[in-house]
Structure 1
Amino acid sequence: MLLLMRVVLLSALCAAALGCPTIITRSQWGARPPRSRVPLKTPVPYVIIHHTVGNRCFNLASCSREVKGIQNYHMDSNRWPDIGYNFLIGEDGRVYEGRGWSTVGAHAKNWNHKSLGFSFLGNFSNRPPNAAALNAAQSLIQCAVKRGFLRRSYTLKGHRNVNPTSCPGNALYGVISRWPRFKA
């Protein structure tokens, strides 16, 4: 555990130097290997925001457990080759790598090949995520632009703007609809 904390700290220092949030890698949260990958042609023009409708998490251990559970559900029940989202955001202020920057996700039908899917860990129908999670998400978007994975002229959307769903929850949708570059 001490070694993991050192790796997380070093990752945070590197990320901070690039203006990025702390990103917990797949190996750090204990991901299963994907069955296959499809390369994502970047930079993409869209970011699509989701919520997992699962449990909230506030530390590395509980968020890692949530992400593992989502990966297991996506791979075992949905029969997808991996977790669907590109990144997941915990209320611990950390970002958890899903499919990552350069793999097509499985988060928004007909939009996966042209977007990055960022999902907040928890249910945000009645209350928004905390400030740590919201700040991490905004930092992740800027990081994606700086690293060249997201177009500078990107458009931000909620999942409900591209598919018939209530995702990312009314409370979270109310927040992101006021963010820069949002367009329903």
Structure 2
Amino acid sequence: MKDLKEIEYHHMVKNRYDDVGCHFLIHPTGTIYEGREIVYKGSHVQNANSGKIGILMMGDFDHQWWDIDDDLSNTNLNALNKLITTLQTFFPIRYLGGHKEYLPNQGYSCPGSEIMAKIDGLRGKYGFVKP
């Protein structure tokens, strides 16, 4: 999903969350939005949200034959790097992982193969470990 209102509707109406489930959302243009305030526990990892900061990369980063907008751009990565660097100055972050790594037996594909291909490099760059 690339539309903030659609994400808000999905989280708050369909899923009945109090707010958007993630703390930050990164739009394909590189704009970083605040979702749920960081002082509140997120709703992004089923039954395991404590101590986690949820970041949603807005878009579809899995290749399918019917669409062409699945690539992770440098704009996306630059915004993610800026956000990680900022968060590291305020929080003792140890882990970095995709949704499917936190919920391995749930059948999730997110954040998508394009982002997952970059996760190990980001872990190494920032000294994070796999969840």
> Which band: TM-score by shorter chain?
0.7 to 0.9
Provide TM-score, normalisation by structure 2: 0.82
Mapped to 2, the partners of 1:138 and 1:110 lie a distance apart of: 27
Give, as a single letter, the amino acid of the residue that structure 2 aligns with 1:128: D
| Runs of 5+ consecutive residues of structure 1 not aligned to the other structure | 1-53, 56-65
Shift of 1:128: 3.5
CA deviations on 1:16-56 (whole Å, 9 max, x unpaired) are xxxxxxxxxxxxxxxxxxxxxxxxxxxxxxxxxxxxxx24x
CA deviations on 1:37-94 (whole Å, 9 max, x unpaired) are xxxxxxxxxxxxxxxxx24xxxxxxxxxx11221112111111111111100012111
Matched with 1:183 is 130
Residues 93 and 132 of structure 1 are in contact (CA less than 8 Å); yes or no, is this contact kept in structure 2? yes
Q: Which is strand-richer, 1 or 2? A: 1
What aligned pairs does 1:165-176 form with structure 2 within 5 A after superposition?
Answer: 165-176=108-119
Residues 85 and 117 of structure 1 are in contact (CA less than 8 Å); yes or no, is this contact kept in structure 2? yes
Q: Which runs of 4+ in 1 moved over 2 A?
A: none
Matched with 2:13 is 76
Matched with 1:27 is none
- Count of residue pairs the alignment pairs up: 118
Secondary structure of 2:54's partner?
A: strand
Shift of 1:160: 0.8
Matched with 1:158 is 98
CA deviations on 1:91-137 (whole Å, 9 max, x unpaired) are 21110100032211101113311100101110001243211111111
Asked whether 1:111 is paired with 2:51, we answer: no
Matched with 1:121 is 58
Q: Which gives a bigger RCO, structure 1 or 2 (Cα 8 Å, sep 6+)?
A: 1
Provide TM-score, normalisation by structure 1: 0.60
Secondary structure of 2:33's partner?
A: strand
| Runs of 5+ consecutive residues of structure 2 not aligned to the other structure | 64-69
Shift of 1:182: 4.3
Give, as a single letter, the amino acid of the residue that structure 1 aligns with 2:59: G
Secondary structure of 1:112's partner?
A: coil
Q: Give me the CA root mean square deviation.
A: 1.5
Mapped to 1, the partners of 2:78 and 2:17 lie a distance apart of: 30
